[in-house]
């Protein structure tokens, strides 16, 4: 038994079901990138990395790629250049990453809010929104003081405001998967199953 199948079985997912979902998800994805979107703390990198392992395609985190090409941390970029300049750089990096695939791409919380980035993702990729409740997000992000947007007098309220502003836009994604306090393998398997279900839609569209 493969490691990815064994992990999923431990997480309560039938191995045979997951194996078929992986086959179908790969067919749905083709040469496109699978793009995870959502608020900070939703688990985009952790779940995205697991999904990439299950699908056996590369994984890249857009924030890490931004830090690599700029040789600065996200916090340093925000402090030195402000959010507008950071978003412009983010758009350029994601646009470049979207040109080749397939791969799993984890994006920063604000990336999908940019109209140009969102258009590129929706046109040439397959987007997955990891949706999480406020309390889940806060429990995760409050453990580290590294989020530039939360350096406010009331960071939890700021996070709540971001949720209200961004969730209607995230809802434009192709797929929504609930992020919660569960084992990561289960949520990753659910994401793959959601992608696999699109195979049936593709088959129906191809019928004469």
Give dist(CA 124, CA 36) in Å, integer.
14
Contact assessment for residue 120 and residue 98, using Cβ atoms and an 8 Å cutoff:
yes
**Predicted TM-score (pTM) of this structure:** 0.85
pLDDT (tens place) for every residue of the chain, 208 residues total: 343 444 444 344 566 788 999 999 999 999 999 999 999 999 999 999 999 999 999 999 999 999 999 999 888 998 898 888 888 899 999 999 999 889 999 999 999 999 989 999 999 999 999 999 999 999 998 887 777 778 888 999 999 999 999 999 999 999 999 999 889 999 999 999 999 999 866 555 454 5
Torsions phi, psi for 123 (to 5 deg): -80, -40
Contact assessment for residue 171 and residue 113, using Cβ atoms and an 8 Å cutoff:
no
């Amino acid at each position: 038994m493969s490691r990815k199948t064994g992990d999923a079985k431990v997480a309560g997912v039938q191995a045979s079901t997951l194996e078929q979902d992986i086959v179908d998800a790969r067919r749905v994805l083709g040469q496109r990138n699978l793009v995870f979107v959502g608020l900070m703390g939703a688990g985009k990198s952790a779940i995205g990395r697991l999904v990439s392992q299950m699908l056996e395609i590369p994984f890249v985190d857009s924030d890490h790629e931004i830090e690599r090409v700029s040789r600065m941390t996200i916090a340093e970029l925000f402090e030195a250049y402000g959010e507008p300049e950071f978003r412009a750089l983010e758009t350029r990096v994601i646009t470049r990453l979207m040109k080749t695939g397939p791969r799993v791409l984890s994006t920063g919380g604000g990336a999908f809010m940019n109209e140009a980035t969102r258009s590129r993702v929706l046109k040439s990729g397959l987007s997955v929104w990891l949706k999480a409740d406020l309390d889940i997000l806060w429990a995760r992000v409050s453990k580290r003081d590294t989020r530039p947007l939360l350096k406010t007098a009331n960071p939890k309220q700021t996070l709540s405001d971001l949720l209200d502003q961004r969730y209607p836009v995230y809802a434009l994604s192709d797929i929504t998967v609930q992020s919660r306090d569960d084992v990561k393998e289960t949520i990753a398997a659910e994401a793959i199953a959601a992608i696999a279900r699109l195979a049936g839609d593709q088959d129906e569209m191809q019928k004469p």
